[in-house]
Amino acid sequence: MAIQACALGLGSGFYDWRWGRIAVCLQPVSAGRMLRVCCKMRNRNTGSSLHKRHQNKKASERLTLNTNLQSQSAESKEVNSTSSEDLMSPFQDKLSDADSIKDLPTMADDIRSSTGEQSIFIENADGVQRLPTDQLEDLTGMIKHAEKNVLLLNQARIGALKDLDRILSEKEALQAEINVLELKLAEADARLKVTTQEKIRVEFLEKELERLKNEINSKDKFDGKVLTSDSISQDSIDIAFVEELNALRVENALLKDDIKALNEKLIDVSGKEECISMLEKERSLLETSVRELKSELQASRIDISALSSFKSECKALWDKVGNLQALLDATAERAKQAATLFEQNLELQAKVDKLEASLKEFNANKLPDKSQKYDELLLQKIEMLEERLQAADQEIHSHTILYQKSLEEFQNSIEKLNECNQKELGEHVDDMPWEFWSRLLLMVDGWLIEKKISSSDGKLLREMVWKKDRQICEAYMACNGKHEHEAIVTFLKLTQPQTSQGLHIVHIAAEIAPVAKVGGLGDVVLGLSKALQRKGHLVEIVLPKYDCLQEDQIIELKALDVAVESFFDGQLFKNKIWVGIVEGLPVYFIEPHHPSKFFWRGEFYGEHDDFKRFSFFSRAALELLYQAGKKPDIIHCHDWQTAFVAPLYWDIYAAKGFNSARICFTCHNFEYQGTAHFSELSSCGLDIQRLNRPDRMQDNSVPDRINPLKGAIVFSNIVTTVSPTYAQEVCTPEGGRGLHGTLRLHSKKFVGVLNGIDTDSWNPSTDIILPVQYSADELQGKAENKRALRTQLELSSADAFQPLVCCITRLVPQKGVHLIRHAIYQTVELGGQFVLLGSSPVAHIQRDFEGIASHFKNHPHVRLLLKYDDALSHMIYAASDMFIIPSLFEPCGLTQMIAMRYGSVPIVRRTGGLNDSVFDVDDDSIPVQYRNGFTFLTPNEQELNNAMERAFKYYKKSPENWQKLVQKIMRLDFSWESSAQQYEELYEKTVTRARAAANV
């Protein structure tokens, strides 16, 4: 529709709703004629009128509509001795440029104010005709009238846009609900991929079945993803607003009918609940049958050698049990999803009704809306939803039939298995899981600590467990179901002494993953212990019994019926001892009965009395080993929290005859030293006068303070840190934090050993958290994970090849937070996307990054997630193309190793363990096979920019070489095997020297 902008033939104009602009066309009065407006002033000093022909510019220039449209004040022009040509020039410019509609009233005012008494002349091919003054006034009035019409039109449009925004927001919410339903169904399909593979032995039938059920219930739980449609800008509105609004009403009426039909179909879902209840009853019957089977198996005494032929049958049977349980859980989950779907559709119908009411409200104004295509999209998604619901119903029915068939097969297998007794163990003892041997070891130690067996018998039995002796395994099986007294008698019949080829190693630490983890220390204790255990060594761990332990990660956690007393503050305090198995490792937990409740604070560290808490624990841990009669070869303590072990061992317990072990101490970060006033040291029983000396535990910087880290360096037989480069850095004044002199003095026993990672937990080919698993040979899954993360975080997916830079870290000064902040903006400038996962214990740093997160809240290429989320970290590692670690100092660092394991190329500063594990692809001094990332040395923005620019250039210009680089870093070995071998050599050298000295 067109609006006449100039009524006197000066031109025509129209408002374009699609572009939100006014278009003005200056056209000739008639064909072949040019319009020229001139002013003639009656001035006695002027001659004939000067007429300057104005050449019209091409029309149809679109002008942006200004919502604050106001007429400008006319500028006064002096008329003293001014020629008509000088007066005409500003008006000619305005007419020719046509910069804005608001110039129209200004021009009219300018004509009046500048010419005074004058006439308007129109020059054409026939000559000059005079325009009277009254027509000039009519011209001015019509221009003002046109201005008012434009203002009214603008106000009406603004009101329409506001109403449209409200309608669009409700429309987006409606589409989001449809997306939720679709993704819920996709999630239900994904959960059908559950697999359970555990080697289960018949002797552990009931316990292993319960554990299998727990594992199945904990697998494949993914967060729902809500997709939101892109917001519709105001520029998407066109001239057909009224007709399309009416069409929207019709389409939404159809949508309401479809949803009503969908709700009728969903009523049938309630019938599925009865099927689920029947399946639950059948499962309970199945569990009852299993328990009966166990009792029958325990009562039988058939020769175990006759059961060797049934090994494969039993394994297949338990695979079927796992599959049946997975099927039952998946079916139940589908029923829950269907019920949720029904509720969400009710909410959806309510929103549709609300939307229709809103549409009726605006019908009277006949406002247009370009949203028909989105309604069509909604209808298509609803149709897809109906098809998926039908497919889900069919799949549930098929799984129910499959479950019944499997149940029949399982019952048949049980009938066959009832003819059997126990599996043959003789030839398969080595296949028994580590949990079995740890359970057996804890049982023997419990008898020993509770004084039910002698120390010599306990030593003998521990060695047999250590060697995985076949006899003790058979004795355990023979005692299954017997009273404890009968079991002890059976075990004591094993009188043949055994010798061991490995070492007995005890780790005393404040953390172990996953039950008590704050940082990398927990990962190191777990990874190193498992690697040493695989090498044939007996490994045990002693830990505080925190009230915030992840007890669901501990197998068979129980308290021993004994209280170990330890000295503190001049008296004896009792300690309750707990035992459990963590990922196949035997762990002892010490719970002090102290009025201060040292480890019942809800936190691991950060308490005002940490010095007392951990000095108490160190003394109690040694007391436990001493009273249990253990004779370890190595006691390995970690960080300042257990640094007290070294002086306590040599000053107190060695004098009691507990002197078989050698002490290894590992400092994971020399920034934390745990110093306190020297008077605090006496609480755990150490002699202040003897130890508060410069050559022992006195702090090098503050003489009246005790430094437990220094004491461990002085009193330990082996001192290590977590990378070779960091070992060199801490021997300098800049890196040693005051202990560089002490480290140099004891340099012969000080060495850096690079940490490893748990390659079982961090494995993209088996990681169940990832939507798609992948490997170095099949990288397609990495692109799928990248797409999934972008969808989950609502990042732009327009360019699949756009590089994704990620960072997972604690936001503390050590990690180079100013460089991380700079990397966010630099990534956007280079055309990439950035994701940060992590939080800060420092308040001002947390606030700073919260501000950055708020700034980028709706940005299509940046997300800051200021929290800790283990599952999300797996997704980020798998999705990222580059991983940035700009640490000011980094003792070892595990993130760069994990990132490379998942095919993310690291960008790091050359310091500490980063320098030992990442080598620049452009460094010709490094062999090609070791180049695996991008590095920089100086911790400033310019150096970081250079490294990032090189990485982006390599990524964009050499896609094939980049893929080869990704495959190479994924094949690098960062497991604990190499690190464990170095520790093994250090242990054996120290133990060999100690034994040689003892024999002299």
Summarised one tens digit per residue, pLDDT across range 893-949 is 899 999 999 999 999 999 999 999 999 999 999 999 999 999 999 999 999 999 999
Instruction: Give dist(CA 356, CA 256) in Å, integer.
Output: 9
Q: Which amino acid is at 577?
A: I
Using a 10 angstrom Cβ sphere, with 0-12 exposed, 13-18 middle and 19 or more buried, the burial of residue 573 is buried
Is residue 782's pLDDT more than 50? yes
Place of tokens 């800008």: 233
CB neighbours (10 Å) of residue 508? Answer: 26
**Phi, psi for 668 (deg, rounded to 5):** -90, -15
177 vs 549, more confident: 549
Instruction: Give dist(CA 899, CA 970) in Å, integer.
Output: 9
CA 435, 441, 447, 453 torsion-angle sign: positive
Average pLDDT, the chain: 76
Instruction: State the chain's maximal CA–CA distance in angstroms.
Output: 141
CB neighbours (10 Å) of residue 918? Answer: 27
Which pair of tokens denotes residue 803?
């590089």
- Per DSSP, the three-state class of 241 is helix
Which residues on adjacent β-strands are paired with residue 591? 576
CB neighbours (10 Å) of residue 987? Answer: 21
Q: What digits encode the pLDDT tens for the residues 141-185?
A: 888 878 788 888 788 878 778 878 778 877 777 777 777 666 666
Mean pLDDT of 434-456: 85
pLDDT of residue 792: 95
CB neighbours (10 Å) of residue 553? Answer: 16
- Per DSSP, the three-state class of 890 is coil
Pairing of strands 555-568, 676-677: unpaired
Buried b / exposed e along 687-724 (16+ C-beta atoms within 10 A): eeeebbeeeebbbbeeeebbbbbbbbbbbbbbbbbbbb
Pairing of strands 3-6, 11-16: antiparallel
Label residue 850 by pLDDT band (50, 70, 90).
Answer: very high
Instruction: Give dist(CA 458, CA 492) in Å, integer.
Output: 9
| Residue 744: C-alpha distances to residues 716, 739, 751 (Å) | 15, 9, 11
pLDDT of residue 604: 93
Is residue 678's pLDDT more than 50? yes
pLDDT of residue 422: 44
Label residue 196 by pLDDT band (50, 70, 90).
Answer: very low
Q: How far is CA 803 from the centre of its chain?
A: 18
DSSP state of 922: T
- Of the chain, the percentage scoring pLDDT greater than 90 comes to 46
Is residue 418's pLDDT more than 70? no
Q: What digits encode the pLDDT tens for the residues 856-890?
A: 999 999 999 999 898 999 999 999 999 999 999 99
DSSP state of 894: S
203 vs 790, more confident: 790
Q: What digits encode the pLDDT tens for the residues 486-513?
A: 788 788 877 444 445 689 999 999 999 9
Which pair of tokens denotes residue 45?
């000093």
Is residue 106's pLDDT more than 80? no
Mean pLDDT of 250-272: 60
pLDDT of residue 39: 37
pLDDT of residue 964: 95
Is residue 706's pLDDT more than 80? yes
Least confident interval from 22-26, 255-259, 430-434, 582-586: 22-26
| Residue 770: C-alpha distances to residues 112, 518, 902 (Å) | 76, 23, 11
Is residue 822's pLDDT more than 50? yes
Q: What digits encode the pLDDT tens for the residues 141-152?
A: 888 878 788 888
Q: What is the DSSP string of 309-376?
A: GGHHHHHHHHHHHHHHHHHHHHHHHHHHHHHHHHHHHHHHHHHHHHHHHHHHHTTTTT-----HHHHH
Pairing of strands 833-837, 862-865: parallel
pTM of the prediction?
0.56
pLDDT of residue 565: 95
Place of tokens 């006197």: 8
Say if residue 514 is preceded by a cis peptide, omega within 30 of 0.
Answer: yes
Q: What digits encode the pLDDT tens for the residues 275-301?
A: 555 656 666 666 666 566 655 555 554
Which pair of tokens denotes residue 829?
């400038």
pLDDT of residue 54: 39
Mean pLDDT of 336-354: 62
Is residue 82's pLDDT more than 60? no
Which residues on adjacent β-strands are paired with residue 830? none
809 vs 411, more confident: 809
List Cβ neighbours of 714 (8 Å cut-off, separation of 6 or more): 646, 647, 695, 696, 697, 742, 746
Is residue 48's pLDDT more than 80? no
In the β-sheet with 21-25, what is the strand arrangement from edge to edge? Answer: 3-6, 11-16, 21-25, 61-64
Q: What length does the chain have?
A: 1000
Say if residues 521 and 507 touch (Cβ distance below 8 Å): no
pLDDT of residue 439: 86
Choose the most confident range, by mean pLDDT, from 111-115, 216-220, 567-571: 567-571
Instruction: Give dist(CA 732, CA 743) in Å, integer.
Output: 9
Instruction: Give dist(CA 551, CA 880) in Å, integer.
Output: 33
Mean pLDDT of 620-628: 96
List Cβ neighbours of 390 (8 Å cut-off, separation of 6 or more): none
Instruction: Give dist(CA 14, CA 1) in Å, integer.
Output: 7
pLDDT of residue 191: 55
**Phi, psi for 23 (deg, rounded to 5):** -105, 130
27: left (phi over 0), alpha (psi -120 to 50) or beta: beta
Mean pLDDT of 813-821: 94
Least confident interval from 59-73, 151-165, 378-392, 435-449: 59-73
DSSP state of 817: H
| Residue 483: C-alpha distances to residues 437, 454, 488 (Å) | 20, 19, 9
Label residue 225 by pLDDT band (50, 70, 90).
Answer: very low
